[in-house]
Amino acid sequence: MKIIFLITIICFAISFAGPVSYYGELKVRPTTPFIDGAKIGARVQVRGVSLGWSNTGWESSRFFNETSVNAMVDHWKAEIIRTPMGQNDSSNKARVKTAIEAAIAKDVYVVIDWHSHNAHNETNAAKAFFTEMAQSYGNYDNVIFELYNEPLNAEWADIKAYAEQVIPVIREHSDNLILVGTPYYSQKIQEVIGKKIKDSNLGYVIHFYAASHNVELWQNNMVKAINDTMPLFITEYGTTHADGGCSPEASYNEKDCPVSHYNTHNAARSDAWHAFMDSRKISSVAWNINDKYEGSAFFGTVPILGGGTFEQNIPENWADTTKMTESGKYIFKKLNEYHLTAPWNPTPILPASQPILPTPGTIVEVYSLQGKKVGKDVSNLKNGVYIFLLKENGIVQTKIFRIVK
């Protein structure tokens, strides 16, 4: 009976198309800061990328299409796509819908983001937008609602009052995860502690840019928020300076946005942030899918000899790292590395030079694909595919690993 059961697990696991089919709807575990997958009943951490502004005429708007979303999933291995709704008009909404539907088709999560710095003064427009989005997409496990991108001139009391008006229009149609921005560009999470919004499936947003924001200076406040049972979600981060890595064509003056910030990608600080997020299973979304002479754009425009720059309308090869900024290369590599050990990925590859195996204390048992028990000692496993039964937070789950030496 045990062998038949294990073989059934294998067939079921390898049938998953993507993370949503595996994890199901993302749900906050009651009275905890943990975000679980409804299908597995255990904590989930997903990682992905954000589109840029959807505004008509902006260079980022041309990436709101199926081609871009498919490339981010297929080549960059994104598990989640963020779709920022910029100016509130029909053209922007149409672009956002196209991206949402493409993400749903690829079986990845999608964040529907009201991309505003002033949303608490746009309550009626936001309510109308989220009513339509919840009616159209609220029954899909893929969908996450982000109510407020980066509050600028707003105290937490203002943000909370706004959210408490928008949340009910979503809840009329959907019980999906809702995320709320926090004060000062979604950075001051500490101002929310002890003043949470009452909703059973709600998390709080943090944004960071590694070159400007040192995780060591932030993690105390994040840990305090977690201890106050506040689920955290990084819906936007960059590896550059907080201005996004300004370009020579930037409309800011040199004092506010120096051209030198184009090359401010900081790998060491980005690694430190990822280490913290991984230690707490905090999901994250990197900024942004764009081709622009700007450091945080994944595909930076390439300067032309003799002056000027050349922008790719759509990259011919989405995996061509020679056309990526330093930030783009970093995120492309990081997402592909994470993909190797993603629980929903049927056969993650674990190179012998850098094995990423579960810790011995979490291993219940290991089996071959034929259902033969091979024990808990994984140090001497030969090349092949194995079924790991792992126990975390009292819950046993199945993961399949391919080991290559």
Active site residues: 150, 236
Q: Give the 3-state secondary structure of residue 9.
A: helix
- Between CA 381 and CA 387, with CA 382 as vertex, the angle to 5 degrees is 60
Q: Among all chains, which residue has been given the structure tokens 């061509």?
A: 320
288 cis-preceded (ω within 30 degrees of 0): yes
For the beta carbon of residue 10, count every other beta carbon within 10 angstroms. Answer: 18
Pick from 164, 169, 193: nearest CA to 180: 164
Q: Yes or no: say if 59 and 292 are a contact pair by the CB < 8 Å rule.
A: yes
Give the whole-angstrom CA distance, residue 363 versus residue 396. Answer: 9
Nearest to 182 by CA among 223, 235, 224, 131: 235
Task: Please list the residues that pair with 367 across neighbouring strands.
Answer: 373, 387
Neighbours of 7 (CB within 10 A): 15
The secondary structure element, H or E, covering residue 389 is strand 384-392
**How far out from the chain centre does Cα 404 lie?**
28
d(CA 177, CA 129): 17
Count of CB atoms situated within 10 Å of the CB of 173: 17
Nearest CA-CA partner of 280 in 220, 240, 239, 330 = 220
286 token code pair: 């990197």
